[in-house]
Amino acid sequence: MRHVVFLAVALGTVLLFLLSRASSNTAAFSQNYTLLLVLNLAVAVSLMGLIGYQLWVLWKKLRARVFGTKLTLRMLWMFALMALLPGTLVYGVSVQFLNKSIESWFDVRVDNALEGGLSLGQSMLDNLLQDLVKKGEVMALALADNPTSSEHLTQLNRLREQVGVQEATLFSGRGKMLAVASSEPGSFLPELPTAAILRQVRQQQPYTEIKTLPGKGMYLHVVVPVNVLTLSEDMRILQLMQPVPERLSRDAETVQAVYRDYQELSFSRQGLKRIYGMTLTLTLLLALLSAIALAFVLSEKLSAPLGLLAQSTRAIAKGDFTQINPVQSRDELGALTLSFNRMTRQLADASAAVEKKQQQLEGAKIYLESILAHLSSGVLTFDERFHLRAANPRAGEILGADLSALRGLPLPAWGSRDIALQPLAHAVAEQFELSADKEWRKQIEFSSPAEKRMLLVRGTHLPGTVDNGYVVVFDDITHLLQAQRDAAWGEVARRLAHEIKNPLTPIQLSAERLEHKLAAKLSPPDAEVLTRSTQTIVNQVAALKSMVDAFAEYARSPRLNLQLLDLNQLVREVLALYESSGARIEVALAGELPPINGDATLLRQVMHNLLRNAEDALSGAPQPVITVLTEADGNKVRLSIADNGSGFPEQLMGRLFEPYVTTKSKGTGLGLAIVKKIVEEHHGMIQAQNIEPHGARVSIQLPSAGEKA
C-alpha cells in the first residue's frame, strides 16, 4: 500500500510539472490540452480510489473491533482536518485569484464593444432592407398600372433609375423572367427566385435577405408582389438586388471576424480555468492522501505497544490471569505495563477466592433447587407487593398452568391471564390479609380445566432478616380425601355384607317352608295370597343379596392376573357382543398401538359397564351413536367411549365415581366406582366430561407395557 501511495504521489508531481510547462507554452497547451485533462482526471480518480480503499479497510477493522482502530480513526480525523482546512482555504483563495487573473487578461469593454458593433451593423443592414422593400413596393404599384408586356422593360428601367436600385427583375407569377433592368448590363444573370420565395410572395408577404455573392460582396435581396388591376392578368413578381456599401460591408466583416477570434480566445480562457482548477484539486487530494497515510503509519506505531495490553485484557476478561507482559521501557508505557502486571496478580488471587465462594453458593443453590424440584408440594414465593417471584415445577403441575407467564404479576392480575386461577389467588390474598404476619392454613377447592381438586394451602410471611416477602406451600389432597371416602365406603360395604347377607338365607328358607306347609291346608284364594307373598319375599331377598354382593365386590380388592394385552383386540372382542345394540357404534382404533399389562377379565368388565351406561343414556334418543376410540398418548394408551345422549348432570360431575351416585332410576350406583377402582389398580386414570353440543365421554388412560408404573 505504501508503494502505491508513493507511485501516485510521484505521478501527480510529474503531471503538475507538465501542466505548469503546458500552461506557459500556448502551442503545447493547445496540442496537449485533451491528453493532460484526461491524465489529470485519471490521477484524481486514482487518488480518490486510494483514499476510499484506505477508508474501507478502516471500516472493516472497525466492524471487526480490531484494537487501535478507533485511535487510528481519531488521528485520521485530526490529520485530515489539519490538511483539509488550510488546504481548502488555500484552494478557495487560489481559485478566486486564478479566476480574477485570467479574467483580467480579457477586457470586458472590448467584448461589449464587439457585440455593440455587431448589433449596430445588423441594425443598419435591417434599415437598408426596409428601405429597399419600400422602393420595391413603389415600383410594384407603378408596374401594376401598365399591364402591357411590351413596355415592361422601358418602365422597369425608368423606375430603377428613379429609386436608385442597381438591378430590378420582373417575373411572372410562375417564376418566368419577363424583363431585367440593371445599371451594369451583362455583368451577371439575375438569380431566379426559389419555389419557397414564390409561395411567400404569392401570399402578399415580401421576402428579404442579405446574401454574400462570391467576388461581389454583400447584397440586399428583396422580392415583392406586383398586383395587376384586371382579372384576366396574373400577378407578377418584382426582384430587387442592391449592393451593400463597400465600407459598411468591409466594417461588418471585420467586426464579425474579430468577434469570432475573440470567442476563440474566450474558449481558451475556459480551458485555462479548467486545467488550473484540476491542478489545484489534484494538489489538495495529494495533501489529503498524504495526511491519511501518515495517520495510518503513526497510529500503527502508537497502538502497537498498546496491543499487548489489549490482548492481556481480553485474556483476563476470559478468566486467564497468566498473561504477564514484559516491561520493555521505563517511560509511561512501561509504568502502565508494570501496574497492569500487578493488577493481574491481584485479580488472580481475588478470582480464586470468588470462585471458591461461587462454588459453595452454586452448591447450596443446586441443593435447594433439587429439594424444591422433588417436593410433592407446590411452592410459590411473592414479594412485598404480592408479585410472583418464583415457583417450583410441582406447583405448575398441580395447578395445571404455566406459572412462568405469571412471574412478576400481582395476585389480583392472575385472573386476566388464567381465569381458573382467580379464585385461588383471591383466597390466598384474603388469608394473608386476615392473618397478618401469622402462619395460616386452609383447604381451598380449585377447579382446573380437567377436574376439581382440593388443595391444602399454607402461607407465611418471611422474616425481614431473610428477605421481605411471602411463601405459599400447597398440596393436592384430592386423592387423599378420595382414598378416605373409598376406605369409608369399603368399611360400610364389608359391614353390610356381614350384617345383612347372613340373615337373608334363613328369611328366604322360612318363607319357602311356610308356603310348603300351609299351601295345601288353605283355601285356593288364601293359598294364592300366600304364594304371592312368599314369592315377593324371595325376590326381595334375592335383590338384597345382589346388592350386598355388589358392595362386597366393591370392598374386595381385585386380584389382577396381568398379561400383555392388545387393547384394540380386546375392544373388538367386547364390541362383538353389541352388534345387535339399538345404537350405532362408531369405532376408531389407532394403528400400531403399544401393548399394555392388564387383566383381560377386569378390563372387559370395565368396557361392558361403560357401554351399558352409554346405551342407558341413549334411551329415547332419536339418532343414538356410541363412539369408541383408542389412541396413543405419549407412553400411555387412551380408551374413550362417548355418546350423544343428555350427558352427566353438572351437580354430579365432582362425585361421579363415588359409590351410590347414579343418574338411573334403578341401580346401586356402584358401576362407575368399581370401574374407577379397577382402572386405578392398573395404575391408570379415568376422566368423565360432557361434550358439546350434547353427550358425554369417559376416557381411560393406561400405562403401556414399556412404562414403569
User: Residue 628 — very low, low, confident or very high, per pLDDT cuts 50/70/90?
Assistant: very high
**What integer pLDDT is reported at residue 199 of this predicted model?**
83
DSSP 154-189: HHHHHHHHHHT-SEEEEEETTS-EEEEEESSTTS-P
Most confident of 255-269, 320-334, 336-350: 336-350
Q: What is the pLDDT of residues 683-699, one digit of tens each?
A: 888 888 888 888 899 99
For residues 127 and 559, the model is more confident at 127
332: CB partners within 8 A, 6+ apart = none
| Sequence spans of domains, the chain | 2-105+263-309, 122-244, 319-374, 375-476, 483-555, 563-703
**What integer pLDDT is reported at residue 490 of this predicted model?**
66
Which long-range contacts does 78-84 make (Cβ < 8 Å, 24+ apart)?
78/295, 79/291, 79/292, 79/294, 79/295, 80/288, 80/291, 80/292, 80/295, 82/291, 83/287, 83/288, 83/290, 83/291, 84/284, 84/288, 84/291
Residue 254 predicted with pLDDT over 80: no
- Compute φ and ψ for 107, nearest 5 degrees: -85, 120
- The Cβ-side half-sphere exposure at 698, using a 13 Å CA radius, reads 25
H or E element at residue 297: helix 246-317
β 625-633/584-589 pair status: parallel
3-state helix, strand, coil in the chain (%, to 5): 60, 15, 25
Q: What is the pLDDT of residues 594-621, one digit of tens each?
A: 999 998 888 888 899 888 888 888 887 8
Q: Note whether 204 and 225 are within 8 A (CB).
A: yes
Q: What is the pLDDT of residues 296-330, one digit of tens each?
A: 666 666 666 677 777 778 777 777 777 777 776 67
For residues 59 and 500, the model is more confident at 59
**What integer pLDDT is reported at residue 569 of this predicted model?**
92
Q: What is the pLDDT of residues 505-519, one digit of tens each?
A: 778 788 888 878 777
**What integer pLDDT is reported at residue 433 of this predicted model?**
82
**What integer pLDDT is reported at residue 582 of this predicted model?**
81
H or E element at residue 707: none
Q: Which of 229-238, 567-576, 601-610 is the least confident region?
A: 229-238
Locate 418 and state its grid cell. 388464567
**What integer pLDDT is reported at residue 389 of this predicted model?**
83
At residue 496, what is the residue type? L
For residues 370 and 679, the model is more confident at 679
Our measurement of the distance from residue 238's CA atom to the centroid of its chain's CA atoms, rounded to an integer in Å, reads 85
Q: What is the pLDDT of residues 426-448, one digit of tens each?
A: 888 888 888 777 888 888 877 76
Q: Which of 195-199, 232-236, 651-655 is the least confident region?
A: 232-236
Q: What is the pLDDT of residues 162-187, one digit of tens each?
A: 888 888 888 877 778 877 877 776 55
Residue 627 predicted with pLDDT over 90: yes
Q: Note whether 440 and 434 are within 8 A (CB).
A: yes
Q: What is the mean pLDDT of residues 583-587?
A: 90
**What integer pLDDT is reported at residue 440 of this predicted model?**
86
At residue 156, what is the residue type? L
Q: What is the pLDDT of residues 106-134, one digit of tens each?
A: 555 556 666 666 666 677 777 888 888 88
Q: What's the first-to-final CA gap in the chain, in angstroms? A: 76
Q: What is the pLDDT of residues 359-416, one digit of tens each?
A: 888 888 788 777 777 777 888 888 888 888 888 888 887 777 777 778 888 888 887 7
Residue 216 predicted with pLDDT over 60: yes
Residue 642 predicted with pLDDT over 90: yes
**What integer pLDDT is reported at residue 643 of this predicted model?**
92
Q: What is the pLDDT of residues 538-551, one digit of tens each?
A: 887 777 777 677 66
Mean pLDDT, rounded, of the chain: 76
| CATH code linked to domain 122-244 | 3.30.450.20
β 596-598/584-589 pair status: unpaired
**What integer pLDDT is reported at residue 171 of this predicted model?**
83
CATH among 3.30.565.10, 2.40.30.30, 1.20.1280.50, 3.40.50.300 for 563-703:
3.30.565.10
Q: Note whether 444 and 457 are within 8 A (CB).
A: yes
Which long-range contacts does 3-12 make (Cβ < 8 Å, 24+ apart)?
4/50, 5/50, 5/289, 5/290, 5/293, 8/43, 8/46, 8/47, 8/50, 8/286, 8/289, 9/286, 9/289, 9/290, 11/43, 12/43, 12/47, 12/282, 12/286
Q: Within 10 A of 46 (CB to CB), how many other CB atoms are there?
A: 17
At residue 50, what is the residue type? L
- The reply to whether domains 375-476 and 563-703 share a CATH topology is no
- Compute φ and ψ for 388, nearest 5 degrees: -65, 130
**What integer pLDDT is reported at residue 17 of this predicted model?**
64
Most confident of 316-330, 502-516, 569-583, 648-662: 569-583
CATH among 3.90.870.10, 1.20.1250.20, 3.40.50.970, 3.30.450.20 for 375-476:
3.30.450.20
User: Residue 85 — very low, low, confident or very high, per pLDDT cuts 50/70/90?
Assistant: confident
**What integer pLDDT is reported at residue 615 of this predicted model?**
87
Q: Note whether 336 and 306 are within 8 A (CB).
A: no
Locate 587 and state its grid cell. 369405532
Q: Note whether 374 and 393 are within 8 A (CB).
A: no
Percent pLDDT > 90 in the chain is 5
Q: What is the mean pLDDT of residues 75-92?
A: 77
Measured distance CA(125)–CA(479) in Å, rounded: 126
**What integer pLDDT is reported at residue 639 of this predicted model?**
93
Q: Which of 257-261, 304-308, 668-672, 684-688 is the least confident region?
A: 257-261
**What integer pLDDT is reported at residue 699 of this predicted model?**
92
Name the residue among 642, 643, 637 with its Cα closest to residue 590. Answer: 637
**What integer pLDDT is reported at residue 97 of this predicted model?**
75
Please give the order of strands across the beta sheet that includes 636-643. Answer: 584-589, 625-633, 636-643, 696-703, 685-690
User: Residue 295 — very low, low, confident or very high, per pLDDT cuts 50/70/90?
Assistant: low
For residues 650 and 25, the model is more confident at 650
Q: Which of 72-81, 103-112, 368-377, 697-706 is the least confident region?
A: 103-112
3-class SS of residue 471: strand
User: Residue 641 — very low, low, confident or very high, per pLDDT cuts 50/70/90?
Assistant: very high
Measured distance CA(511)–CA(493) in Å, rounded: 26
